[in-house]
Chain A
Amino acid sequence: MDGDRILIKAERLNVGYKDKTVVSDISFEVCRGEILTLIGPNGEGKSTLLKSLAGYIEKLGGNVFLLGKDMESISPADKARHLSVMLTGRTDPELMTVRDVVSVGRYPYTGRLGLLSKQDNEKVEEAMRLTETDELADRLFNEISDGQRQRVLLSRALCQEPQVLMLDEPTSFLDIRHKLKLIAILKRWIKRDGLAVVMSLHELELALRVSDKLLCIKGGKIDRYGTPQEVLSTDYITELFEIDEEECMEAIGVPVQNIL
């Protein structure tokens, strides 16, 4: 029932490293077709929260439910068929073409030796077409630009056919044209496949425009959570980032009200 609509849900989640809690008492839910964006100053724990949700680091308390099931009860292989992740950290694999990198996304669906079926190959080509990286397919991943890599890694995440997609700063290396393009691709895909997306962004304007829900992290807590309309006002942004109104205008370019 709930599991049909709510794809990922956190309940009183605490995240951090061994003895140091970074963010505590996090609760949210993301439904099919929705984008939840984590915003807040750098170093406040956006990445830590994403890493914890993705299972890279052990959570310190609380629960995460993926498609209505407790994340801890799902086997890694099953989880990989429902949840895929795109990271910011640099990867430079040796001698892998763009197509090879994207193909790795098919891992959860291939057999013991990882050979791609015709259907797998079609998914790979489709994912590359949709992110407009198909022209790079035979180039070496190490030899393309950072912006191109980011789109390739998005293709990889998408061809894993997840229901929940987690993106850590997916637009950080992109120029404005490609930022908008990437978001458009993402939106199209979300609409088509009914994905739920959890991502972190540092571009506030972009976050306000594309998100269905915002989760504002500050001081080790969830400061606010809701739709952009509910959460944000110029006053709040100045408070969240500890800047004045003028800087806020500068950063966003237009008054917050104009975006919402």
Chain B
Amino acid sequence: MEDRAFERTRSGRVRRYITGYIILILILGLLIVLNINTGSVKLSVGEVAAILTGGMKDATAYNIIWDIRLPRLITAMLLGGILSVAGFILQTFFSNPIAGPFVLGISSGAKLIVALTLIYFLGRGINMSSVMMIVSAFIGALMSMGFILIVSARVKRMSILIICGVMVGYICSAITDFVVTFADDSNIVNLHNWSMGSFSGAAWGNVGIIAAVSLLTMVLAFMLSKPMGAYQLGEDYAKSLGVNIKVFRVELILLSSLMAALVTAFAGPISFVGIAVPHLIKSLFKTAKPIVIIPAGFLGGAVFCLFCDMIARTLFAPTELAISTVTSILGAPVVIYLMLTRSMER
């Protein structure tokens, strides 16, 4: 009897997970089609299909699809997914649903160091490689992360930690704006777009490394889902279950910083995705189990960023909005909701 009841609830849960994944994949598929089709040059589904299968090679549309829309689409999907998982890792690490790469100032730290190194190298006529971009973003992310860790060791109240993170973000952004404003090299004009956050710079040259680092970090995150599950019950319990807390914490810090760095290096800072998406996904799946939420969060982040990017580039076309303009409008209300419904005084 009891076993049957148990089997029923378990299969009910598994069904919910499968349904959740199917919904996410369907929306993702729909958004991919919409994203390829819409833009300042309208194309029919038939034309797009022809182009993707190798036809219409001489038309401008061919170049628009292959050189602009496709790399941008892939970049937005991968980086959106990674950003959302980075947020979930940080929320687990700080046991705080409002932690995320943007509010903790990690994205802005990465942005600052990338801007500084870019200006330094461009000023000397050297182009930065994608690896150098990621490395400098990673250093910046770790600097902000280090500061946040020092604060979190001193104050236990989560609200203070978030405020400190937001302030770090402001400071880093202010310095970035300052150096970008006064940098005179013509190449740096592009920097302005990037420092506001945008997928518009996406190019095939970067897609390879973005995909490689995304895959690597996702595999690592997935492999950490077991200790993350134990850690959700509290550090002491995780320790008593045999989790090596020191190593585990370092792993989470490095991994989430690398993820935030990857996103910032290629798309600039993108706000609130890291908080809003994991929350929505957890509500949809009615669980916080890392083994379920890490892949689902990736899909959710991909869906969310594709949708936001489509709005950003089509709503006032040909003028493009910064991606954060859209993600903030959609994501910030979720954060406010979370703050109102959760006790922050822990």
Q: Which residues of A contact B (CB under 8 A)?
A: 54-56, 75-80, 83-85, 87, 89, 91, 93-96, 99-101, 104-105, 107-108, 110, 112-115, 121, 125, 129, 134, 137-138, 160
Contact = CB atoms under 8 A, between A and B. Distances in A.
Contacts of B291: 113-115
A138 B286 contact: no
Interface in B278-302: 282, 286-289, 291
B226 A89 contact: no
Nearest to B293: A95
A89 B240 contact: no
Most buried by B among A54, A79, A87, A138: A138
Contacts of B174: none
B243 A76 contact: yes
A87 B237 contact: yes
Contacts of A105: 241
A20 B3 CA distance: 51
Contacts, number: 88
A107 B97 contact: no
B67 interface: no
A95 B237 contact: no
Contact of B242 (A79, A99, A134, A138): A79
A108 B288 CA distance: 20
Contacts of B233: 91, 93, 96, 101, 104
- Chain B contact patch, size range: 20 to 34
B240 A84 contact: yes
The 9 closest A-B pairs by CB, nearest first: A114-B226, A80-B242, A107-B241, A95-B288, A77-B242, A76-B242, A91-B234, A85-B240, A93-B232
B229 A114 contact: yes
A114 B242 contact: no
B337 interface: no
Contacts of A83: 240
B243 A113 contact: no
Contact of B288 (A55, A56, A96): A96
Contacts of A160: 241
B86 interface: no
Contacts of B241: 80, 104-105, 107-108, 160
Given A76-B244, A113-B225, A121 B230 contact: no
A218 to B, nearest CB: 26
A125 B4 CA distance: 12
Interface string B115-140: 00000000000000000000000000
Interface in B1-41: 2-3, 6, 9-10
Contacts of B185: none
Nearest to B7: A121
Contacts of A78: 242
A126 B97 CA distance: 33
